[in-house]
Structure 1
Amino acid sequence: MKARGRVLCDFQEASTDEERLRFIISRGLIRNISWLNFYIQNCKKLHCKSVEKSKCYREQGNTYFQQKKYEESLHYYIKAIIHAPGIEAKTEDLSLAYANMSASLYHLMKYQACLANITAAMESGYPDRLHHKLLLRQTQCLLYLKQIEDANTSVQVAKQHAGKMKSTDKKKADIFLQEISSVERKLANAVDNKSNNDTYEMKKTKLPDLSYGRNQLVTQATSGLRMEQTREKGRHLVAARDLKAGDTLIVEKPFAAVLLPDHYDSHCHHCFGQLDLLVIPCVRCSQVRYCSKECQNSSWTSYHQFECFYMDLLHSVGIAHLSIRIILVAGLEFLVEFKRKLQSLENNTVRIKGVSEDGTYRHGYLTVYDLMPHSKHLVIEDLFQYSLTACLLLNILQVSDWFNSHTKMSSDPCNNTSSGECSDKSDKKHMSGDVGDVSEQEQYVGGLLLRHIQQLVCNGHAITELQVTQATDLSLVETKSQVRVATAIYPTASLMNHSCDPSIIASFDRDSLVVRAVRDVKDGMEIYNCYGPHHKRMSGPDRRQILKDQYFFDCQCSACLMDDGQNVMYMVFKCPKCENALIEEQTNVVCSECGYHGNTLSYKEKTGIAKDLFLQAVQRLEANNIKGAIDTAQRCHKIRNGILHRNHRELTETKDFLARCYAVTGDFEKSCRYLKESVSSIKTVYGALSIEYANELQKYAEVLVSAGHMETALAITNEALPVFKVHYGTSHTSVAELDELRFHLQKSLIIS
């Protein structure tokens, strides 16, 4: 401990990021880690492509396919695809895996996905001797999709292939021609797919346009905003005109972003869109997947060719992974030139951070560089740990040969060990313990890495996705929640200061951030974001402590300056006499309305019992013990209803849970009754224009449909839609789903 104390004491003398990095290097604090050197020497053998693994997974998939367990077979065919070497390896494994995947999809009647995998198999070098299988399957898919013209074209190609087959295998060719004739007869009777006005067509999502046009200075924002700077608030955004609820204020792509490892199997590594049933793997490793060749190529060119071998190590550093991604996206040549230009900018003592020489705050590295690192606010232990991490990331850049990449590395994944085969060649490079062996350029980049790590503590932005969860496969009442899938850096969004009562809401389309106003904002008023602690979800003291610990400021927003009593009321006990809120005073609870006094301990004991019962109910529902879940939840509800304020979140949570349980049993009337109470409480707590209220209304409408109350369901849907449109615009998934529900409800009411 004394030795560590001396190291920290010496480290504290370093005053710049580059000096801190040199300190770590000179002490050999990274170089002397034995397991790290072992990892660097052997990491190229991890997660590489393997013919043997691909064949093994394909055979496992074939076993399930033969048993007609097509869903199970898909799991193994996907693994076969991601482990198969690329076409340049001169093996058939990748194409065979795609072809087998298409067969399972065909039997699952997922014809579009089947066609996509057939195309992928052909492009991956599918053996000519087997082409007839794919051609026939392709024609059948097109027939089922009623794409008759394309199906006829596919048939002609199949017949040409049958002609070639006759010279080598006449018997097989004759069988194939008989199958083609059967399909041709079906084609002759088929009719092209025509649009049907009685069907609802889901609109494709697209990024919204900025309200009032694009800002000429803050280029990712609307002209309805302007950037200001004061000593007290720093840079911030204010309304340059009267803004309306629902206005789109910012549409921004991240400068750099990193997908969280938990979502590698389900999301594109580059754009973060959910993957469908066509898997595009990395050309070199078996870890990451893409939604398209375009994303695969963009990822490789920009960063993945340098990260590919070191993904496990990058996962271990958490959010700091984004700092090396920022450096890779910027590129070495740009950073060298940036250093020269920055010196010129720094000579301008009145410059606004992030604003370039032409007076614009745009999508570029300067806006990232000028985000606050908060070095002076960090405790020395944290800063020391961040410096160690920066040194580790610099080591990855060195051994990946990034510093020589502009002259040696190809931007084409197909020209860089694209077969993915393991190499016995070890990396002999490692970080020297002598600062003199680390170039000035490497020290500069290492300092940037450390700067970005510090910035991300306050400026890292979670990319979230609205996901639906169901307690059981039978559940008809879905729970929606925002799930974090990636971390990104959005320099324009970072200009917004915090308020516990924000004026905006952020949503995402893949990696694109969309910021909308959730209420009217007058000209000259500041635009506020919420950094996490929201006044509707957390008490004032808890919010302020979190903001102080992570963001280093004492919150003085309107919600913190005003009395929090209104929101606290929804987290308190209920007076047994007048049902108003009880105030806790040391060991007693007191009603300010009727003067009732009670013992706090009794209330808290009952709270603990109710919490245990609720957890038991959830476990029973997950285990498909529906009756046990309802019985336990009813006991919990009885206790909570007796001691908690009528709009207490835990009581609302219990009602919502009971609604889910009764929906599973098919008792939709009881489900509606509990949801109606839940909807009322959420409206009271969060407000009629809140997204929380809209989500609960959507859930209520869906259960009303199941209960047969179509008119009420339509009224509820019509109430929810405007709120969703304010928060998410017109093309969001939730809006599209509600629009579709409204369409079918209107149609059913007209018919009846």
Structure 2
Amino acid sequence: MCTARCIVIDMRWDSVVDYLNHILEPNILQNDIKNMKCESELMSCLLSNHRITKFLSLWLSKLYNERETRKERKNLDTSIYYKSKGNKAFKIKDYNTSVKLYTKSAIYAPSGSIDLSLAIANRSASLFYLERWQDCIKDIELAIKLGYPEKSRGKLYLRIIECYLKLNKTILAARIISQLNNSSQYDMTNEQRERLQKMNEIKLQSRNTIDGINDVNSTCDIENVTESPSQPKLKRLKSGENPNFRSASASIEVKYTPEKGRYVVANRNIKKGETLFIEDAFSFVVVNNNKYNTLCHNCCKNYLDIPIPCTECVDTLFCNMNCWDKACLSHHRWICPASQMGLLRQVGITHLALKLLCVCTTTTNNERFNDVQQLVTNFNKLAPADIISYGITATMLTLYLSKYTDFFKDINLKECLVSKFSNNEFNIKCDLATDDDKQLYVSSLLLRHILQLICNGHAITKINVTPNDDENKLLIEEQTRVATAIYPSASMMNHSCDPNIINSFLDQTLIVKAIKDIKEGEEVLHCYGVEFRRMSKVDRQESLESQYCFTCNCKACTMPEYENFMKRFTAMKCPECSGPLLLCDDHDPPMFCSDCGATVFELTYIYKVKQAQVYAKNYLRDAECYMQLGNLEQAVVELKNCLSLRKRVLYKYHEDIITTLDLMANLCVRMDQRLPAIYHLEHTIVAIEERYGSCSIELCNELNKITDICISYLKTESNTASKFYKNVLKKTRRYLNDAQQILDIVYGPWHETYNEIETKIAVLFNILQNFNV
């Protein structure tokens, strides 16, 4: 073990797996796997290998012993440091910064220390001065629950009274005033006593309403009167929920064939935009290292800048105490030590497998439990080397649960797992008479969950919008994975690189909508990876084969018209029909037109195109120089020359033409020439729809951009009788409706851009009052 002890020093988990794969005699085990029928057979081999279990135990022990020296850990000095910085920001009235710093102080406050409640109480003061009354109330409630010194609570109660007064909740304020009047246990300054005396007028004003509450316990039960912020409401499934298909619309159903397995079909005609699934995640994990991530680890709601931290680990944050309590009962009590050890950040998606096991153990919803257990694993399809690696991970997680948590002491496996299976075909065949048997059962379930997540995990995504460096209001949007989740019902859909549905998320809830009309009997298809508009066929096929173990035969992968779709947008112009002229391979002529089939062999034509591109880039460079110098008129001249050359030699939807048009529109806006800007963007809209589709967020962004300019033109143009003005009125209404429909399908009406569109629709409505359009 001395050699192993030396090897394990500073070894990351992926290196551990590589090392153990090396000492396992992988060729022999890989051959054995081919004859194995279930997860428990592999796990029995791994758990009985003492070299494996000893090495894993040593590695876990090293992580555990070093948890107190990790940079990301509970630390009183760190907590005090951030509290001190928060105090400085508070004194100079930089309350937004002080909120962030007090939050960090709370996150690093050690378990059992008073510093956690002090940090939350300090944060409530910052929130008060930011006029975030409800958030202030929430933090005061939390500080008291976390043990804020009872003698000092008087100032907190005064602050909560003032919050209620600001919110015009006089009765609630009067109730707490009454409680304070009947209590002498709180230390209060003379100034605070004077404030309370003035507040007694509120009590007198509301006396009839609050009679009889003076006998309430002197510790204010403010939790019962705190109102929760309203959440967006989901529309009901139009056809109702299918009683035989949980979380799914009655307009779809699951079918089965030996060739396809389970799949989803429409049992009636479905219209574009119709909702097909509304499904809560059975389990999910938040991506901790995401800079945009401010999501509760229990419900996935946004906690903004005022999370409630776990008292034991620094990685886990919640939006309220209720979520904290639910998480601890469901899973976090067994996962928290792994977070403290820095284990979870190393194991990737298997973090979710561990949480999934815990949730399966504690859930009372046996139907959804069984839906999860029946998800495919591809145990006999994945590469044996990958299966072994996942099995090693399941072994390590089982040893972790056994050595560093009370999981096996807390849980009766027969009652909490075995008895929940409604179909013994999916239960692990294992006796539970001994501790070794219990570990084998749990490790087998862990391996199953890891394999299920490989082919059934869903990425919960959000769109992050950031302004670019240009002074004009143009936005850059990127889609970011913020969590990984398991949705057993939606996982029944098969794949297509040209799907007819799209996923969106509200917190942890998955909403699936049709993006095309789907005929009765037609299959409902989801894209597992990247669709044909965004990735080449070769790359798509390789990705799907690697992760999902199948070769895709969808239309986008088999029909000739899809073959060179992405190349069209970097193509030259066909001299015969102006269609996209493509190279037969990636380097050398001849070239062919994918529209008319014409073939071009002449090198001279290709040379002319390349020369034109060089000149166009020179014009573009000059235009950018003129813009920096503030000579916008000359910049327009250079851009027009650039656009003219590019239109002469490039396919009409070439990305360089779209970029040039967008830049010209931007420049026109800066010069208050809105009609030309609208004209240029109308051309980009057509090209972007061709490239990304009619339900793409890229198209929505362009529609949002052009309607900004249209509304500005309509509000400032004096000649409202002109045909140009009336034409823009009509276009604006159409563009806004199109953008709203895309947002409703792709995100839902709770998305912030949807509110922006609705505001513009209201402005347009007022303008239209004077026109018969």
2:346 alignment counterpart: 316
1:477 alignment counterpart: 474
Q: Which moved more, 1:105-114 or 1:304-313?
A: 105-114
Matched, 1:405 2:403: no
Distance apart, 1:71 and its partner CA: 2.1
1:678 alignment counterpart: 684
Matched, 1:70 2:84: no
Distance apart, 1:225 and its partner CA: 1.6
Distance apart, 1:613 and its partner CA: 13
Unaligned runs of 5+ in 1: 188-201, 335-360, 412-435
Q: Which moved more, 1:298-307 or 1:365-374?
A: 365-374
Distance apart, 1:443 and its partner CA: 0.9
Matched letter for residue 251 of structure 1: I
1:647 alignment counterpart: 653
Matched letter for residue 405 of structure 1: D
Which of 102, 106, 109 is the aligned partner of 1:84? 109
- Structure 1's 313 and 707: CA in aligned 2 closer, same or farther, altered over 3 A? farther
1:39 alignment counterpart: 63
- Structure 1's 180 and 636: CA in aligned 2 closer, same or farther, altered over 3 A? farther
Distance apart, 1:675 and its partner CA: 3.4
Which of 231, 234, 251 is the aligned partner of 2:261? 234
Q: Is the 8 A contact 2:569 2:691 kept in 1?
A: no
1:368 alignment counterpart: 372
Q: Which moved more, 1:380-389 or 1:691-700?
A: 691-700
In 1: Cα distance, 2:447 partner to 2:65 partner: 25
2:653 partner SS: coil
Map residues 432-581 of structure 1 onto 2, 5 A cutoff.
439-472=436-469, 476-564=473-561, 567-568=565-566, 570-575=568-573, 577=575, 579-581=578-580
- Structure 1's 392 and 488: CA in aligned 2 closer, same or farther, altered over 3 A? same
1:705 alignment counterpart: 711
- Structure 1's 382 and 721: CA in aligned 2 closer, same or farther, altered over 3 A? same
- Structure 1's 727 and 605: CA in aligned 2 closer, same or farther, altered over 3 A? same
Distance apart, 1:653 and its partner CA: 5.2
Distance apart, 1:272 and its partner CA: 1.4
1:536 partner SS: coil
Structure 1 length as normaliser, TM-score? 0.78
- Structure 1's 31 and 601: CA in aligned 2 closer, same or farther, altered over 3 A? farther
1:718 alignment counterpart: 737
Distance apart, 1:7 and its partner CA: 0.7
- Structure 1's 719 and 560: CA in aligned 2 closer, same or farther, altered over 3 A? same
Distance apart, 1:304 and its partner CA: 0.9
Matched letter for residue 411 of structure 2: H
Matched letter for residue 738 of structure 1: I
Cα deviations by residue, 1:273-302 (Å, 9 ceiling, x for unpaired): 211343211132222111122211111111
Q: Which has the higher contact order (CA 8 A, sep 6+)?
A: 1
1:9 alignment counterpart: 27
- Structure 1's 575 and 722: CA in aligned 2 closer, same or farther, altered over 3 A? closer
Q: Is the 8 A contact 1:533 1:546 kept in 2?
A: no
1:124 alignment counterpart: 146
- Structure 1's 714 and 186: CA in aligned 2 closer, same or farther, altered over 3 A? farther
1:355 alignment counterpart: none
Matched letter for residue 259 of structure 2: E
Q: Is the 8 A contact 2:100 2:305 kept in 1?
A: no
In 1: Cα distance, 2:749 partner to 2:189 partner: 58
In 2: Cα distance, 1:143 partner to 1:333 partner: 42
- Structure 1's 169 and 496: CA in aligned 2 closer, same or farther, altered over 3 A? closer
2:540 partner SS: helix
1:252 alignment counterpart: 279
- Structure 1's 636 and 83: CA in aligned 2 closer, same or farther, altered over 3 A? farther
Q: Is the 8 A contact 1:220 1:492 kept in 2?
A: yes
- Structure 1's 514 and 646: CA in aligned 2 closer, same or farther, altered over 3 A? same
Q: Is the 8 A contact 1:113 1:277 kept in 2?
A: no
In 2: Cα distance, 1:474 partner to 1:186 partner: 53
Q: Is the 8 A contact 2:534 2:566 kept in 1?
A: no
Q: Is the 8 A contact 1:159 1:180 kept in 2?
A: no
Q: Once the two structures are aligned, what percentage of the paired residues are identical?
A: 29
2:52 alignment counterpart: 29
Q: Which moved more, 1:706-715 or 1:62-71?
A: 706-715
Cα deviations by residue, 1:183-206 (Å, 9 ceiling, x for unpaired): 99999xxxxxxxxxxxxxx99522
- Structure 1's 242 and 29: CA in aligned 2 closer, same or farther, altered over 3 A? same
Distance apart, 1:66 and its partner CA: 1.5
Distance apart, 1:482 and its partner CA: 2.6
Structure 2 length as normaliser, TM-score? 0.76
Matched letter for residue 740 of structure 1: T
Unaligned runs of 5+ in 2: 1-17, 207-228, 417-432, 717-728
Distance apart, 1:528 and its partner CA: 0.9
Q: CA RMSD in A?
A: 4.5
2:518 partner SS: coil
Q: Is the 8 A contact 2:501 2:526 kept in 1?
A: yes
Cα deviations by residue, 1:716-751 (Å, 9 ceiling, x for unpaired): 212322343344555555444422332244246659
In 2: Cα distance, 1:164 partner to 1:146 partner: 28
- Structure 1's 152 and 741: CA in aligned 2 closer, same or farther, altered over 3 A? farther
Q: Which moved more, 1:445-454 or 1:639-648?
A: 639-648
In 2: Cα distance, 1:226 partner to 1:119 partner: 47
Matched letter for residue 120 of structure 2: Y
1:378 partner SS: coil
In 2: Cα distance, 1:224 partner to 1:668 partner: 46
- Structure 1's 71 and 690: CA in aligned 2 closer, same or farther, altered over 3 A? closer
Distance apart, 1:230 and its partner CA: 1.0
In 1: Cα distance, 2:182 partner to 2:24 partner: 80
In 2: Cα distance, 1:437 partner to 1:362 partner: 26
- Structure 1's 279 and 727: CA in aligned 2 closer, same or farther, altered over 3 A? closer
In 2: Cα distance, 1:140 partner to 1:243 partner: 53
Q: Is the 8 A contact 2:170 2:202 kept in 1?
A: no
Cα deviations by residue, 1:595-643 (Å, 9 ceiling, x for unpaired): 653476897899899999999x99x9xxx98989998996997886665
- Structure 1's 173 and 590: CA in aligned 2 closer, same or farther, altered over 3 A? closer
Matched letter for residue 64 of structure 1: A
How many residue pairs match? The answer is 676
Q: Which moved more, 1:38-47 or 1:283-292?
A: 38-47
In 2: Cα distance, 1:315 partner to 1:125 partner: 31
- Structure 1's 739 and 78: CA in aligned 2 closer, same or farther, altered over 3 A? same
1:350 alignment counterpart: none
Distance apart, 1:465 and its partner CA: 1.8
1:60 partner SS: helix
Cα deviations by residue, 1:481-522 (Å, 9 ceiling, x for unpaired): 332111111121111111122121111111111112222222
In 1: Cα distance, 2:261 partner to 2:685 partner: 40
Q: Is the 8 A contact 2:459 2:485 kept in 1?
A: yes
- Structure 1's 678 and 401: CA in aligned 2 closer, same or farther, altered over 3 A? same
In 1: Cα distance, 2:387 partner to 2:578 partner: 51
Q: Which moved more, 1:168-177 or 1:50-59?
A: 168-177
Distance apart, 1:23 and its partner CA: 3.0
Distance apart, 1:59 and its partner CA: 1.2
Q: Is the 8 A contact 1:219 1:363 kept in 2?
A: no
Q: Which moved more, 1:235-244 or 1:532-541?
A: 532-541
Distance apart, 1:703 and its partner CA: 4.0
In 2: Cα distance, 1:206 partner to 1:510 partner: 12
- Structure 1's 153 and 259: CA in aligned 2 closer, same or farther, altered over 3 A? same
1:330 partner SS: helix
Q: Is the 8 A contact 1:507 1:728 kept in 2?
A: yes
Distance apart, 1:40 and its partner CA: 2.8
In 2: Cα distance, 1:625 partner to 1:61 partner: 40
In 1: Cα distance, 2:743 partner to 2:698 partner: 10
Matched letter for residue 83 of structure 1: Y
2:84 partner SS: helix
Matched letter for residue 560 of structure 1: C
- Structure 1's 440 and 178: CA in aligned 2 closer, same or farther, altered over 3 A? closer
Matched letter for residue 108 of structure 1: L
